[in-house]
C-alpha cells in the first residue's frame, strides 16, 4: 500500500496483526476490569429488607385483626377434599 506523503506530517506506521491484537486485548482487559469495579461498587440492594420483628409480645409483631365479624353466623361446611376424588361412588376397582 502506498501512503501519500503530506508535507509537515510524519508518516504513520501501519498496524500489523500482532500490534492490533495486543491493543485490542489491552482495551478489552481495561474495560473488563473497569466494569467489574463499577459493578462491585454499585450499592443496589438485591432484595427488599425484611420487616423488624423484634417486638416483645405478639401484639407488637402481628397486625390488628378485624373482629367485627359475627361469631354466631353459620359458616358453610365445605370440605374441598371430598370433592376431589371422582371415584368415591365406584364399588369395584376399574383397573383390575
The domain containing residue 19 runs over which residues? Answer: 14-43
What is the arithmetic mean of pLDDT over 26-36? 96
Can you spell out the DSSP letters for 52-82?
A: ----SSHHHHSPPP---S-TTS------TTT
Q: 68 in a domain, yes or no?
A: no
* Domain assignment of residue 19, yes or no: yes
Quote the number of domains for the chain: 1
Residue 39 in any domain: the answer is yes
Distance separating alpha carbons of residues 75 and 12, to the nearest angstrom: 91
Q: Which residue has the higher pLDDT, 65 or 34?
A: 34
Q: How confident is the model at residue 81 (pLDDT cuts 50, 70, 90)?
A: low
Residue 43 pLDDT exceeds 80: no
Tell me if 35 is assigned to some domain: yes
Would you say the pTM of this structure is higher than 0.85?
Answer: no
Amino acid at each position: 500500500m502506498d501512503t501519500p506523503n503530506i508535507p509537515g506530517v510524519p508518516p504513520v506506521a501501519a498496524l500489523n496483526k500482532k500490534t492490533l491484537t495486543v491493543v485490542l486485548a489491552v482495551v478489552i482487559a481495561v474495560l473488563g476490569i473497569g466494569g467489574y469495579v463499577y459493578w462491585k461498587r454499585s450499592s443496589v440492594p438485591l432484595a427488599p429488607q425484611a420487616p423488624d420483628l423484634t417486638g416483645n409480645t405478639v401484639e407488637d409483631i402481628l397486625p390488628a385483626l378485624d373482629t367485627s365479624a359475627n361469631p354466631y353466623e353459620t359458616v358453610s361446611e365445605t370440605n374441598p377434599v371430598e370433592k376431589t376424588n371422582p371415584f368415591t361412588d365406584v364399588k369395584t376397582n376399574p383397573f383390575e
